[in-house]
Structures are given as structure tokens and as C-alpha cells.
Structure 1
Amino acid sequence: MAKITGNEVEFNTLELNLAWEKAISLENVDPNKIKMCYICKFHMLKENYYTDKTADILYWTVDLINTKQPELFQSDNLIAIHQGCLIFRKKPNAAKRIEKIRKVKWLYDEEFHQ
């Protein structure tokens, strides 16, 4: 279970893995290494998890899919997104938006990112 201390939330390894699994997959890459942020549609590398020591807006962190849910930190309510994209979230419940994005086939542009 996530630990809340002050203004910070610390997730355990299981919760981090569950959030990563919920993130949008790209068809042509290994989902254990690269996923897509549902806000900006740019890729995330699993190895680049956001911490205070590695503060980069393109590093990923855990977001809540539905912030109105009574049990916020349930495993089905966690998703990985870029740290910098947290401020661009539009609605308290992003479930419909995420489902619409999942219906599209997303590809990683290997040529551009070399």
C-alpha cells in the first residue's frame, strides 16, 4: 500500500509494476521496456522512474485514473505517466479517455528516436 508522508506518496514495487502494466502499450516495442504516456502520447522508458534524485519531467511516475474513487490507491486505479504531464490532466476521472486511447494502434517511431 502506498505511504503518504506530507505532500509525498511513496509506492511499493508491486504498485509501480501495476501502474506500468496499465500504461498504454506500443505495438512494435517490448512493453516491459517502453510504454506511452496517455496525456502527451510520448514514450516512457521503464528504467526512467521519477525520484527526487532523478528529477526530469519525461521520467514516469504513478497517476490515479479516477481521483473521485473512495479507495484511491487500489491497483486498478494506478497508471504510469510522465511526471511533467500531471499538470495537464483535464478531468478527475480519466477512465474514458484512457479507454479511447487504448482502442487506437500506437507505434514507436524507432527511426526518429535513434
Structure 2
Amino acid sequence: MYLIAYMIKESEKIIIVKTAITLRKMLSNNKNSSAKAGSSLEIVNSYDKIVANSNSQLTKATVNSAFSGKKRSTMATIVLIVESMGYTMTSFAEIYDKLSESDVSRFEDEILQRI
């Protein structure tokens, strides 16, 4: 029974990390687009802009938590963040599905150690 509980927790941890990686990639894409577009186009390229674009339904702490990969976020939070950045859940899924075990391991080694 202990082994099953551990496996569920580990699989959930992978989902949390893959979600954080996906959100970070989407935000990075927006930052790159923002740099190319200049200042004339309003692109959501920061946590503050995500919060502002969510019509006050999110706090910066909630957004930060989703991007950190340390805590579970609700589906509603993920949808609000994704849509606030100007993406669809289909776009989210396309990035999420392409992530590998090595992407997860690299994130855990490089990012989670610093947080």
C-alpha cells in the first residue's frame, strides 16, 4: 500500500513539473515575441501582466506558484494563466505532450534546486 501511495505522489510531481515547464515555455515565447514586436504591441510577458490580464482573478503569488513547479495548481488557475497569456489550452497541451523525462529531470536539477 505504501508503494502505491508513493507512485501516485511521484506521478503527480511529474505533472506539476511538466505544467511549470509548459507555462515557462509559453511565457518565454511571449517574451521573445515582445522583444521582436517592440513596445507598440501589448504582449503578456511577465507575471504582473498575467495577473493584470486575468481581470483580478489571480494573484501574483498564485501565478508564481504555478510557474515554480513546487505546488499543485487547480485546473482553473492553469486555464486562467494560459488564457491571460493569449494562448489556448490546445497550445498548452501541444507543448506539454512534447516534454520528455529528461526535460523533467533537467528542470528538477536546475530550477527546483534554486527555489
| TM > 0.5 fold call | no
TM-score (norm 2): 0.28
Higher strand share: 1
Give the TM-score of the pair, scaled to structure 1.
Answer: 0.29
More relative contact order in 1 or in 2 (CA 8 Å, sep 6+)? 2
- The structure whose Rg is larger is 2
Structure that is richer in helix per residue: 2
